[in-house]
Amino acid sequence: MAGKAIWKGYINFGDVNLPVKLHTAIKEDRIQFHLLHKRDHLKLRQQMICAFEKKPVPTEAQVKGFEVEEGKYIIVDPDEIEQTAPEDSRMIEVREFVKTEQIDPLFLERVYYLEPDVPLKGYDALVGALKEMEVAGICTWAMRKRYYLGALQTGGKILRLTTLRYADEVISLKSLELPDIPLSEKELKIGSDLINRLTAPFQPQKFENEHQKKLQSLIEKKARGEKIAVLRPRRLKPTAPDKLLQALEASLKKVA
């Protein structure tokens, strides 16, 4: 079953005004740990401590500040910040359409499923149009006191809305300033051959969260009082630059 409906809105562009309900699409199942005091195994709590007095500070004595310079703050009232929050407008405004393949995965944040709301007319038509033209709608909307940028796309028979990061939230790859190292045509050819040999169709059902299962069994072993062998991870020896061609050739031989 899809996640619960968290919001209702209207997809709006041209003469399209389509009512939809947003549902969460991902459910992460994780083993949760508590943080305990080693000495007495008591569950710890988070507290705000004054850096100066080294003592806990109650909520009534806490204020929010924006650091303008080291050690200097502008105090803000939570109500003042509230005032800057947008009103929920229910309009998911499509500003433009782009070819889906142009959207770099670095910009994708959180995906929601869109369920058609009444009246139902037009939903299937929009799904069909987006799918056949292979495009996504770039949208803006205000939800739960925040402004969002997103991509309206199809997924199977339904519409999906994925929030997008703003441009300045993605760190530019050029800023990494990686060195340009020359490579021989031979290294590149063998490397490419190797990759093509190791290529398989994407079948996500092949992959399970094995670590989660092993973690579960570790917990069960300890609960039974069994001794745990602590294995130390080994680091693989890095391939030296002058041994790279050799490693590639040996790899290709291995998969042939």
Partner 1 sequence: MQGIWSGTISFSLVAIPVDLVKAVDSGRVSFRMLHSKDYSPLQRRMFCPEEETMVPPDEIIRGYEIGPDKYILISDEELESVSPERSRTIEIVEFIDMDEVDPIYYDHPYYLIPSKGGEKAYRLLVEVMRRTHKAGLAKFVLGEREYLVAVYSSEGALALITLHYREEILPDEDISPKKGKIEDEEKSRIKQNIRKMMADFDPGKYADKRRKEIMDLLKKKAKEKAPVEAPEMEGEEGEGPADLVAALKESMRKVKKNR
Q: Which member of 141, 160, 161, 163 binds partner 1 (CB under 8 A)?
A: 160
Nearest distance, CB of residue 216 and partner 1, angstroms: 9
* 247 part of the interface to partner 1, by CB under 8 A: yes
Q: What is the spatial distance between Cα 232 and Cα 213, in angstroms, rounded to a whole number?
A: 20
* 198 part of the interface to partner 1, by CB under 8 A: yes
Nearest distance, CB of residue 127 and partner 1, angstroms: 8
Please tell me the count of residues contacting partner 1 according to CB under 8 A.
171
Look up tokens 């929009």; give the residue.
126
Q: Which of 16, 10, 25 is nearest to 162 (CA)?
A: 25
Q: What is the DSSP letter of 43?
A: B
* 251 part of the interface to partner 1, by CB under 8 A: yes
Q: Which member of 62, 89, 91, 185 binds partner 1 (CB under 8 A)?
A: 62
Residue 186 contacts residue 194 (beta carbons within 8 Å): no
CB-wise, 92 or 135, nearer to partner 1? 135
Write the Ramachandran bin of 123: left for phi over 0, alpha for psi from -120 to 50, otherwise beta. Answer: alpha
Q: Which member of 17, 81, 186, 226 binds partner 1 (CB under 8 A)?
A: 81
* 119 part of the interface to partner 1, by CB under 8 A: no
Q: Dihedral of the CA atoms 179, 245, 192, 178 (nearest 10)?
A: -10
Residues 29-58 that bind partner 1 (CB under 8 A): 29-54, 56-57
CB-wise, 92 or 126, nearer to partner 1? 126
* 6 part of the interface to partner 1, by CB under 8 A: no
Q: What is the spatial distance between Cα 184 and Cα 244, in angstroms, rounded to a whole number?
A: 11
* 227 part of the interface to partner 1, by CB under 8 A: no
Q: What is the spatial distance between Cα 109 and Cα 116, in angstroms, rounded to a whole number?
A: 22
